[in-house]
Structure 1
Amino acid sequence: MIFGPTPLDEAEGAILAHSVRLKERVLKKGTVLDAEAIAALRAAGLGEVIAARLGQGDVPEDEAAGRLADALLSPLIARSRAATGRVNLVAETTGLLTVDAALVDRLNALDESITLATLPNFSMVQPKEMLATLKIIPFAVPGAALGVAEVLLRQHPVLTLHPFRPLKVGLVLTELPGVKESVMEGAVEVTGARIEALMGRLLPVERVRHETAATADALRRLLRQGAEMLLIAGASATVDRRDVGPAAIVKAGGRIEHFGMPVDPGNLICLGSVGPAGSEVPAMVLPGCARSPKLNGFDWVLQRLFAGLPVRARDIMGMGVGGLLKEIETRPLPRAKAPQAPPPAQAPRRPRQVAGLVLAAGRSRRMAPLNKLLVADAQGVAMVTRVVDNVIASGVRPVLVVTGHERERVEEALAGRPILFVHAEDYAEGLSASLKAGLAALPPEPEGVLVALGDMPLVDSAVMARLLAAFDPEEGRAIVQPTFRGKQGNPVLWGREFLPEMMAITGDVGARQLVGKHADRLIEVEVADDGVLRDFDTVDSLKAAPGFGKAGPSRKG
């Protein structure tokens, strides 16, 4: 192709490179100059234009784009007409798009005049959605390059659209005592919506005890009903391929293909199958995050299976690149410090309401005659006042303070603050009595409660705010606990689902014993200092506390 200033005497048949505005008309970029257009240019006093002239063997942009688009076509994919060297490829049905990335790279490396841009591999698409755009950059393509490109594209499909199949899906919900009915109903609703979006149908749900035998029996019943896919939503997250859900798949006559995946959220998925070779039915134990409608690794596997694509261990292990699907509070180096691109427009997420509960009823027996909660720091602020101020600053609402020993003095130290007082009449029975008094006074609205100890003044509001940011019961993060160098500390944020068990605790202990029992619902937030580990029960420990070196009387904060 010859490009550049072109005398009008040589311009007939050339392609105008830039629009030219004349008195009576506008000759647009890409216009093929004919005798009439050249006459108009002469009349305007022009002697030359910037134009492109095809050389021997060159193919005009629209013809080249059309030929390559024809070579890209495959079933259920349509194309637009060529215009300005561009053709768009669009879906004709709902399905999953697969892309031969290596072939796209080879095409784009063939000649700078030819470019192809596609959606990511394994994109879920809707009818009429654009899948790819083919663009010829200059006004023509060398014929030899075009010929090679056509041969390349006809060797193997670059774009393949796999329509979703109307599968019948069986869902088993396993149950443990204390799990709220709303949690179970939510899991069914969210799973059903996922299945319907993929053209499937959910069979009547099986609800059984969280036991291997009961779950296996439920899987067999669903198979007899014609289930073409089996899902298990466990009351407790799977932590090993021998756990209840995977063991039930094996007991039902199946096998486990892979446990875990390099996608977050979605790490704890377990993939297997049930049935004889050649007619296996896919079977999955869902990760806890599958209770949320937000995108997670389960969606990626589910979409492929509905599209009729096999999913093997190697496929799951290859999902790591791009597998970080959301910001995770517990990552050592959050991206909050990195430059942020404007987020896509979406409905703002409703902030989760979390209450704050400060336990300040203890008798300070190990620090007698002092009440440790009323010992002042270097600024003259009582320890309990410092704790409550930090809790308030974290953003939790409402804030409840449980009193007991020296109730009047504690309330005086906290006067004027936006808090509610709850008096534990039986505070002398131990920490559990204070905890239960506070929990019983919680209003019904909060989804969780941050339980703070009145003798831990070194936990600042920023640490508590990080706990709030990590709290997401729908995605399995229903207990949030800070750690320092791997050691678990306080305060702990509890989802409302644990309140019945917390109310059943007795003796001089708190709720931390429940953390191990519900490890599958726990997320740990590593923090930068040891304040989350340090409470102050003795005069000696208080002497080592920053700002509390000398025990003395307090003033109101």
Structure 2
Amino acid sequence: MRFGPIPVVEAEGCVLAHSTRLNGETFKKGRILSSDDIAALEGCGLETVSVARLEIGDVLEDQAATRLAAAAANTGLRPDPAFTGRVNLFAAHAGVFTADAEAINSANRIDPSLTIATLPDYSSVEKGRMVATAKIIPFAVHEEDLKAAEKAVHRSLTLHPFKAHRVGLVATRLEHLKIATMDKTRRVLEDRLRPSGSTIISENRTAHEVTAVADAIRQQLSLGAELLALFGASAVVDRDDILPSAIEKAGGTLLHFGMPVDPGNLLLLGSVDGKPVIGAPGCARSPKENGFDWVLDRLLAGLTIAPEDITGMGIGGLLMEITSRPQPRAPKPARQSPKIAAVILAAGKSRRMGGPNKLLATLDGKSLIRRVAEAVGETGFAQRILVTGHMAEAIEQETADLGIAPVFNPDFEEGMASSIRKGIAELDDSIDAVMILLGDMPGIDAKVMDRIINTYRSSATAKIVLAAAGGKRGNPVLWDKTFFGDLSNLVGDIGARHLIGANPDVLEQIEIGDPARQDLDTPEALQAAGGKLPV
């Protein structure tokens, strides 16, 4: 391929190097110039144009990217159509993505014009997640280089689908450990298992003693458990501690203790009757990512784990609260009618109100929560969810006739993040985006919601659309499904502000004025707005 400026009259059949605007029309770069195009360029007075001239043996960028991606894909991956020399590969199922690093590096070193980039090896992904991208840098590459890259990268990328497992849970008790903590631990584990379709078939809460734990392990196996999770009331600190000793007493084998992943250092892995047994570190009681996830997900995907696999997790094993950004190279899918859900957060305790639940306060004779719920009902959402917590029954009664599905958040006291996680977990697989609304913002009506939805639908790039007042961000916020994974991992009581701040390139703000930042958290603010506290 030869590149550079040539007379316009000689450019027919060449590839346009730079986008060129002509009398209101734009010829985009990469365009194969036709005789009509040449006439149009000459008609605008252009004498030269920068082009790429193909030579014998050259393969155009889109064709080359398609071939490279097809060669790399093994099983469980779906390509999208080539665009601007790029083909993205997506997970056809939820599962664990693996990449042969040696193969990818070999292909990338054949020629700088041929590239392939992937997620990290053993990444856990949801269905539809982009896992790799093949990109051709110039407008064409030579056939010989492309064939070499195809050979090097052959079937190097695989998506191992999750498989549903019957999981047995054994949790030990000590005086200091609250029942509420054990209940939450089970719920967190259920959330981790949900993407694979796995379920807890039984939970055995037993004394923190070797014999008691060994008996519980045998009981879970007799019930048909295919994988066991052990949560100790006290951390495992040695290979001869309670949980590892119990695995051996149950007739099993201790495979490994300790891992170079933080949080997650104190993970224990064993086997009883050929069934994997994971001794969970204390951090696994939290939904935040830790070493337990890395081991559990591989097992749920049918992958074996040896001690050398665990000891090889050190690079990248220092886990921090880092937002996983959406795939910037993945264009927003062009959906005819994207399915959008609404999640109303109505679980809080209204602490600043001094006792009464502000959602039951009235404005012009109607409760705040009902005002928001009615507006949601007037908008064409494909799914409507109400997340309750404090005074759940009273909140549900206020909206019972509006066709909004209530879901109780047992962890509502942890803060807003727990309610967002609960709402996201309830979304149907077919949902493309979700609008998250606060139950105490009566100024957000159906017209506002429609404006946000229409902006999302009409924009080629917006994956976050929010209401604003005077340029300041407010609520509600609409999220593309790209962010569902991030929203499912939120913690604390600050919502998803950090996600918004970290992704300005896919953000759209809709100016609606004061309702976007209306705060009715105190009796004074409610009274000033003309509202009345519930009796």
Q: Which residue of 1 aligns with 2:296?
A: 302
Structure 1 residues 159 and 6, CA gap change in structure 2 (3 angstroms): same
Match runs of 1:170-209 below 5 Å: 170-209=168-207
Task: Please tell me the residue identity of whatever aligns with 2:164.
Answer: P
For 2:127, the equivalent position in structure 1 comes to 127
Asked if 1 retains the 8 angstrom alpha-carbon contact of 2:89 and 2:131, the reply is yes
1:255 is the counterpart of 2:249 = no
Deviation of 1:26 after TM superposition, in Å, equals: 2.3
3-state DSSP of counterpart to 1:166? coil
Distance 1:87 1:343, change over 3 A: closer
State the shift of 1:180 in Å: 1.7
Secondary structure of the 1:141 match is strand
| 2-structure distance, mates of 1:259, 1:37 | 68
Equivalent-residue separation in structure 2 for 1:114 and 1:151 (angstroms)? 13
Give, in angstroms, the shift of residue 207 of structure 1: 1.0
Superposed CA deviations along residues 279-325 of structure 1, whole A, max 9, x for unmatched, are x1001211111111111101100001111111111111111111111
Equivalent in the alignment of 1:313: 307
- Note the 1:261-340 alignment, pairs <5 A: 261-275=259-273, 280-326=274-320
Deviations 1:248-288 (A, max 9, x none): 1001110101111111111111101001xxxx100121111
- Work out whether residues 165 and 300 of structure 2, in 8 Å CA contact, stay in contact via their aligned partners in 1: yes
Q: Is the 8 A contact 2:167 2:202 kept in 1?
A: no
Aligned to 2:113: 113
Q: Deviations over 1:204-233 (max 9, x none)?
A: 200111110111011111101110011111
Preserved CA contact (<8 Å) 2:165 2:227: yes
Count residues with an aligned counterpart: 332
Q: Cα distance 1:37–1:206, how it changes in 2: closer, same or farther (>3 A)?
A: same
Contact 2:104/2:152 (<8 A) preserved: no
Give the greater-gyration-radius structure (CA). Answer: 1
What residue is the counterpart of 1:32 in the other structure?
A: 32
Separation in structure 1 between the aligned mates of residue 177 and residue 144 of structure 2, nearest angstrom? 68
**In the aligned structure 2, how far is the partner of 1:223 from the partner of 1:115?**
48
2:224 — aligned with what? Answer: 226
What amino acid does structure 1 have at the position aligned with 2:131? L
> For 1:49-85, what per-residue CA distance to the aligned partner results, in whole angstroms no more than 9, with x for missing partners?
0001001211111111111122123222111111211
What residue number does 2:215 align with? Answer: 217
Equivalent residue letter for 1:103: A
Indicate whether 1:23 and 2:23 are aligned.
Answer: yes
Distance in structure 2 (CA, Å) of the matches to 1:123 and 1:179: 33
Change (3 A) 1:15 1:343: closer
Cα distance in 2, alignment partners of residues 344 and 248 from structure 1: 42
Tell me the TM-score normalised to structure 1 length: 0.57
Tell me: CA distance 1:316–1:342, structure 2 relative to 1, closer, same or farther (3 Å). closer
Look up the SS of the partner of 1:62 in the other structure: helix
The 5 A counterparts of 1:393-472 are none
Alignment-derived partner of residue 158 in structure 1: 156
Matched with 1:85 is: 85
Distance 2:58 2:35 in 1: 22
| SS of equivalent to 1:174 | strand
Name the residue aligned to 2:451.
none
Q: Distance in 2 between matches of 1:342 and 1:206?
A: 35
SS across alignment from 1:67: helix
Distance 1:188 1:31 in 2: 57
Q: Give 1:167's aligned residue.
A: 165
In the TM superposition, residue 151 of structure 1 has moved relative to its aligned partner by 1.8
CA–CA separation in structure 2 for the residues paired with 1:314 and 1:27: 55
Structure 2: any 5+ residue segments left out of the alignment? 327-344, 349-412, 415-535
Instruction: Give the Cα separation in 2 of the matches to 1:204 and 1:25.
Output: 66
Q: Percent identity?
A: 50
Which position in structure 1 is the counterpart of 2:4?
4
Q: Matched residue of 1:179: which SS?
A: coil
- SS of alignment partner, residue 109 of structure 2: helix
Quote the residue 2:94 is aligned against. 94
Q: Deviations 1:177-222 (Å, cap 9, x if unpaired)?
A: 2422112212222122212233211012001111101110111111
**How big is the shift at 1:105?**
1.0
Whole-angstrom distance in 2 between the partners of 1:178 and 1:45? 84
1:245 maps to what in 2? 243
Partners in 2 of 1:105 and 1:73 — Cα distance? 15
Question: What are the superposed Cα offsets for residues 422-473 of structure 1, whole Å, 9 maximum, x if unpaired?
Answer: xxxxxxxxxxxxxxxxxxxxxxx99xxxxxxxxxxxxxxxxxxxxxxxxxxx
1-structure distance, mates of 2:323, 2:220 = 46
CA distance in 2: counterparts of 1:153 and 1:325, whole angstroms: 30
Matched with 2:520 is: none
Distance 1:312 1:206 in 2: 27
Secondary structure of 1:205 counterpart: strand
CA distance in 2, matches of 1:20, 1:235: 68
Which ranges of structure 1 fall in alignment gaps of 5 or more residues?
A: 328-340, 351-444, 447-557
User: CA offset at residue 24 of structure 1?
Assistant: 5.3
Paired with 1:204 and 1:149, the residues of 2 have a C-alpha distance of 50
**C-alpha distance in 2 between matches for 1:135 and 1:164:** 29
**Contact map agreement 2:81 2:87 (CA 8 A) in 1:** yes
User: Is this contact kept in 1: 2:107–2:150, CA < 8 A?
Assistant: no
C-alpha separation between the residues in 1 aligned to 2:181 and 2:35? 76
**Cα deviation 1:73-117 (Å, max 9, x = unaligned):** 322211111121111111111101011111111111111111111
Is residue 163–residue 302 contact of structure 2 (8 Å, CA) maintained in 1?
yes
Post-superposition shift, 1:343? 9.1
Q: 2: CA distance between counterparts of 1:69 and 1:267? A: 37
CA RMSD of aligned residues (A): 2.3
